[in-house]
Structures are given as C-alpha cells and as structure tokens.
Amino acid sequence: MDVDIVELRDFYASPLGTVARRLVKKAVERIWPDARGHTVLGFGYATPYLSAYRSSADRLLAFMPAAQGVMHWPRHGPNATALVDKTSLPLQIGSVDRVILAHALETTDSPQALMEEIWRVLTPGGRVIVIVPNRRGLWTRMDTTPFGQGQPFSRSQLARLMQASLFSAETWGEALYIPPVPRRLALRSAVAWERIGAGLSLPFAGVHVMEAVKQLYRPIPLRATRKSARMAPVFAPASSVHLTIPRPAQTRETRQGLHRRP
C-alpha cells in the first residue's frame, strides 16, 4: 500500500526526516557523484534525493504513483513531477539514463512488474539506484516513518529480484544506522552512528542503497550434464545362446571302411 503524499512531505519536513534525507542522500551521492549528460528519473517519492543533480543532469523527471499522490517539484521553476501508473510509464523505450527508486518498491503489489517497466525505459547499460527498507533494520519495526511501511527486503531478496528483472546488482550500500526516534541526542550524533555502523558493517541499517545495471540479454544458467553410457558400435550380432551340434558316432565298421583303399 502506497504511503500518502502528505505523510511523506510531513516526514521529510520533520527533524528526523531532515536527518534521514541527509544521510541517505550521502549514500546516493557516493554511488553517483554527478549526473552530467544524463536524463535522470525519480520514481515513488525520490525528490529529496533528486535535488543533488539539478545542476548537473541534462533533465530531471519525478514520477509519482497515482495511489500515492503528487506534489509540485521543484519549489521554484517549472514543474517536473507527474502522476503515473506504476506499470505503464509515459516514456518511450530507452528514454532515460538513470533512475532513482525511493518509497516505491516496498509498497507495490508486484515489485518485478515495476522493475520490468524501469528496465523498458532505461537506455542500454542504464543504471538504477534502489532505496528500500532493510528487513533486519530498526526502521522497519516502527511504522511512524515511511521506511516502516510496506514490505522490507533482505540483501539476498533484493539481489534475486534484480536478477529476475534482468538487472545486475553492482554496488551495495546502507544508511540510517541511527535509531528512528526524534530525540535531540540521537539526531546530533547521527554522523557518529553512521560511521560506526558502516565501519563495523553492522547488519541493522535502516535502508539498502543498491545500484544495478540493465542487462541486455537474459543469462542462461549452466546445467549439470549427465554422463551417458558409452556405446560401442556393434558390427555383427552376437547370439547369447551357443548351440553345440554333436558329431555322428563312429562305429568300428565305419572306421575300418575309412582306412580301406579302393
């Protein structure tokens, strides 16, 4: 079930949401420092992370699903948002270079159908960053934030989904090691939480930030071949039954007649 656009807007306007946006945005920028020469599409509610590429990308688009709702973005300038269907984006095949998915994959009824539509609109070799709640994280256990809504993913589940949708997972990252509580002490120490969590590779990060690349051909899995029995050609039929013909008995007279001369 999609999170309402008002709830998303209010969360990112709160102190906890402001910190979460800054931390996740850093994880995204570590993967894509800039987007020069690219058309970038944000799907779901990706506007908090699209703003990093406003000065470098050739074009920015922000699509939001109909069940979620839409809002004007950016605040100043021409509107770049549109209300769309999740499985039927109003774009031509291979029309965007990069995609950011945020608050989208975990709330859709068919994640693979959404990824197949993303595959369709991406250029050959196009890239997508997926931001999804971590199944083992603390944020998924509290429904007071958007990251506690929908279906969280483990790393293996996300990797299998990418493979089934003809994507190859390349870069893995995590963010939001801080507890999802709006306390000043926790918010002030957010950077320290992130450094400790990333340095120790702790498993309870709030979100996965994963980059995948569009594959052009479906990989063919290798199957174990059976060893067949080695057959040798048979040139003459061999009978399995051997018959022994007895020689006629020789009497004394017969032997004597054989030695007589005419």
User: What number is the average pLDDT over the span 181-208?
Assistant: 89
Q: What is the pLDDT of residue 21?
A: 96
In a domain, 233, yes or no: no
**Cross-strand partners of 59:** 39
In a domain, 246, yes or no: no
| CB 166 within 8 Å of CB 218 | yes
What is the separation of C-alpha 161 from the centre of its chain, rounded to a whole number of angstroms? 4
Does the CA dihedral 40-104-86-3 come out positive or negative?
A: negative
Q: What is the pLDDT of residue 233?
A: 53
Cβ within 8 Å of residue 251, ≥6 positions away: none
| CB 45 within 8 Å of CB 102 | yes
In a domain, 195, yes or no: yes
Q: Side chain identity at 132, as an amino acid letter?
A: V
Q: What is the CATH number of the domain that holds 37?
A: 3.40.50.150
Q: Is the pLDDT of residue 229 over 70?
A: no
Q: What is the pLDDT of residue 250?
A: 55
Q: What is the pLDDT of residue 26?
A: 96
- Residue 231, helix vs strand vs coil: coil
Model confidence band, residue 217 (pLDDT cutoffs 50, 70, 90): confident
Q: Side chain identity at 131, as an amino acid letter?
A: I
User: What number is the average pLDDT over the span 180-188?
Assistant: 87
The pLDDT tens digits of the residues spanning 37-64 come to: 999 999 999 999 999 999 999 999 999 9
In a domain, 258, yes or no: no
- Which of 79-83, 184-188, 233-237 has the weakest average pLDDT? 233-237
Model confidence band, residue 228 (pLDDT cutoffs 50, 70, 90): very low
In a domain, 221, yes or no: no
Domain encompassing residue 106: 5-122+142-214
In a domain, 92, yes or no: yes
Q: Is the pLDDT of residue 262 over 50?
A: no
In a domain, 223, yes or no: no
Average pLDDT, the chain: 87
In a domain, 254, yes or no: no
If one compares 216 and 19, the residue with the highest pLDDT of the two is 19
Q: Is the pLDDT of residue 236 over 70?
A: no
Model confidence band, residue 184 (pLDDT cutoffs 50, 70, 90): confident
Element (H, E) at 155: helix 155-164
- Residue 217, helix vs strand vs coil: coil
**Count: domains in the chain:** 1
